[in-house]
Amino acid sequence: MAVSQNIKVAVDAVVFGYTSKEGLSVLLIKRNIPPFKDAWALPGGLVGDHESLEDAIHRELKEETGISINYLEQLYSFGQPNRDPRNRVISITYYGLVKPDAFELHADTDAADVAWFNIKNIPQLAFDHAGIIQTAHERLKNKIQYQPLGFELLEEKFPFSELEKLYTTVLDRPIDRRNFKKKITGFGFLEETKEKQQLSGAGRPGNLFRFNEEKYFRLKKDGITFEV
């Protein structure tokens, strides 16, 4: 049977940001072209005929947000026939987790604006991008339970409570603090220093921690399994 095909391929990026103060956020652009003009959306666009998917997503991020990210992981392919009112478009999506204050945002091309939005305060989005973000968030929550993740988002030396906060924020649920500390320290990539946490109020300051990069990145590459 003959198959009629007129399909375009796009890429979209779910860039999560994390800070201790702001929590988990998502990078969005405001579209300045139809359809969904003036609506917020994920950065992304069509892949060029002679362009790889990876080159396309990095180009779109640079053009629409002004940022460059070293590593994005492929998430999923979204291809419902009606997801774009203009054409049949399949989107290959990517996701990553970064420190927002490490980037200077700058909207360009078909983006009128670019901003970080807290994961709990996402505006109404264009296309099927709300579902894409939900899928990416679930993938991130799953990944953080089998691979050490997020130490790049903390200061060089940090109180253990900051690591706990990172995990509870990404997982969006409480964790067993005692069990969590026992498991994390048992892997050997976390080192306790003799430096004390600076407290603004009353209380006993705890020691600061740092991670052993060699052990951390080796375990992150190989993958480790633990339940939080």
> Residue 141: pLDDT band by 50, 70, 90 thresholds?
very high
Tell me the pLDDT band of 60, cut-offs 50, 70 and 90: very high
Determine which helix (DSSP H) or strand (DSSP E) holds 96, and give its type and residue range.
strand 88-98
Domain stops at, among 111, 143, 175: 143
Nearest residue to 27 via CA among 85, 68, 55: 68
Q: Which of 114, 143, 172 is the last residue of a domain?
A: 143
Token pair belonging to 53: 């998917």
Lowest-confidence segment of 65-74, 139-148, 168-177 by average pLDDT: 139-148
Residue 32's CATH number = 3.90.79.10
Q: Enumerate the β-bridge partners of residue 31.
A: 111
Distance CA 22, CA 149 (A): 18
Between the alpha carbon of residue 27 and those of residues 51, 52, 70, 119, 186, the distances in Å are: 24, 23, 16, 10, 34
Phi, psi of 153 (to 5 degrees): -90, -10
Query: What's the confidence (pLDDT) of residue 203?
Result: 59
Contact 107, 66 (CB under 8 A): yes
Query: How many domains in the chain?
Result: 2
| Side-chain-facing half-sphere of 115: CA atoms under 13 Å | 12
DSSP 204: P
Its sign, for the CA torsion 218, 58, 169, 24, is positive
Task: Assess if residue 42 is contained within a domain.
Answer: yes
Tokens for 100?
């927002």
pTM: 0.91
Helices (H), 8-85: 53-65
Q: What is the pLDDT of residue 155?
A: 87
What's the confidence (pLDDT) of residue 46?
A: 96
Residue 22: CB atoms within 10 A of its CB come to: 13
Whether residue 168 is found in the same domain as residue 210:
yes
CB 94 within 8 A of CB 75: yes
In terms of domains, do 136 and 164 share one?
A: no
pLDDT at 226: 67
The answer to whether 133 and 26 have CB atoms below 8 angstroms apart is yes
Per-residue pLDDT tens for 178-204?
A: 899 888 888 888 898 999 887 665 557
1 lies in some domain: no
Average pLDDT over every residue of 10-36:
96
Most confident by average pLDDT, 40-54, 162-176, 213-227? 40-54
The 10 Å Cβ neighbour count of residue 65 is 24
Instruction: Quickly list H helices, 187-223.
Output: 213-222
- pLDDT digits 0-9 by tens, 74-99: 999 999 999 999 999 999 999 999 99
Where among 96, 112, 143 does a domain terminate? Answer: 143
32, 128: one domain: yes
Over the Cα atoms of the chain, what is R_g? 20
Most confident stretch, 91-100, 153-162, 202-211:
91-100
Average pLDDT across the chain, whole number: 90
- pLDDT of 176 > 80? The answer is yes
109 plus 194 within the same structural domain? no
Question: How many residues are recorded in the chain?
Answer: 228
Helix, strand, coil percentages in the chain from 3-state DSSP, rounded to 5? 30, 30, 40
Tokens of 145: 């339970």
Compute the average pLDDT of residues 210-218.
83
